[in-house]
Amino acid sequence: MRLTTSPRLRILGAVLALGVVAAAGTAVYHWRASAGEGGVCQAARSTAAALGPLARGEVAAVQVEKTPRPMPQLTFRDAEGATHSIADFRGKTVLVNLWATWCVPCRREMPALDALETKLGGEDFQVVAINIDTRNTDKPHAWLKENGITRLAYYADPEAKVFQALKEEGKAFGMPTTVIVDHNGCMVASLAGPAEWASDDALALIRAALKS
């Protein structure tokens, strides 16, 4: 025996389904609003304002956020294979950099990132360079060692999900990709492409992020 549903019940079901979708959309909106505008990232606006005038010279291409919002919860592995999350660095200002050995600008940028970590790295700041090579996963670690990159902790995501997550946030268009994250986990600035991160201009930019 085939069961049938009355037109009235079908309409009621459709209305209820739309209500669920609308409620879900409203919940997402309110979460983003509270996190990015009225919540934890509200304070990051003053940090972004301080960085704006300092995006010049060697870091002129850095894009400062008008409305800082939470960093996606990226996950990646260290040299021993242990899993880490960007949330592990809460309390620090972090410069997240995505790089790969097949990316020539990335390779050229690594010594400057290593020097930046040497100059400013510590309890309040860290360069988190995440390799996204998807083949020959031993190569990136070996390349860093061969090229004297010793101050950067080794992190990798062989599936490159971190790139996709930042791409969905409108922050990853190519390689290298860099995002500056404040101590509350809010994105305050980003850069598509390389920069001279050990330059005076870059140091002034990062120091301003640390003071805010």
Is the domain of 3 the same as that of 78? Answer: no
Residue 40: predicted pLDDT: 84
Assess whether 114 and 198 both reside in one domain: yes
- My answer on whether 76 and 3 are in the same domain is no
Percent of the chain residues topping a pLDDT of 90: 79
47 & 67 share domain:
yes
Q: CA–CA separation, 146 vs 198, rounded Å? A: 20
Does the pLDDT at position 27 exceed 70? no
Question: Beta strands 83-85 and 125-131: pairing type?
Answer: unpaired
Task: State residue 176's pLDDT score.
Answer: 98
108: CB partners within 8 A, 6+ apart? 194
CA dist 49 and 199 (Å) reads: 21
| Same domain? 13 vs 51 | no
pLDDT at 50: 96
Judged by average pLDDT, the poorest of 26-35, 38-47, 54-63, 70-79 is 26-35
Question: Whole-prediction pTM value?
Answer: 0.82
58 and 6 co-located in one domain: no
User: pLDDT band at 6, cuts 50/70/90?
Assistant: low
pLDDT grade for 61, boundaries at 50, 70 and 90: very high
Are residue 68 and residue 9 in the same domain, yes or no?
no
Residues 10 and 47 in one domain: no
**Average of per-residue pLDDT across 138-163:** 96
d(CA 22, CA 148): 54
Instruction: Identify whether residues 24 and 50 lie together within a single domain.
Output: no
Residues 125 and 35 in one domain: no
Give residue 13's domain range. 1-39
Query: Do 193 and 116 fall into the same domain?
Result: yes
Over residues 110-129, the mean pLDDT reads: 98
pLDDT of res. 30: 36
What's the pLDDT score for residue 22?
A: 38
Query: Higher confidence at residue 47 or residue 211?
Result: 47
- 78 and 165 in a single domain? The answer is yes
The single residue listed with the structure tokens 């200002």 is 93
Q: Are 205 and 190 spatial neighbours (Cβ–Cβ below 8 Å)?
A: no
State the total domains in the chain: 2
Diameter of the chain measured on Cα atoms: 80
- For the domain that residue 165 is a member of, what is the CATH number? 3.40.30.10
The share of the chain scoring above pLDDT 70, in percent, equals: 82
> Which regions of the chain does DSSP assign to beta strands (E)?
63-70, 75-78, 83-85, 93-99, 125-131, 155-156, 177-181, 186-192
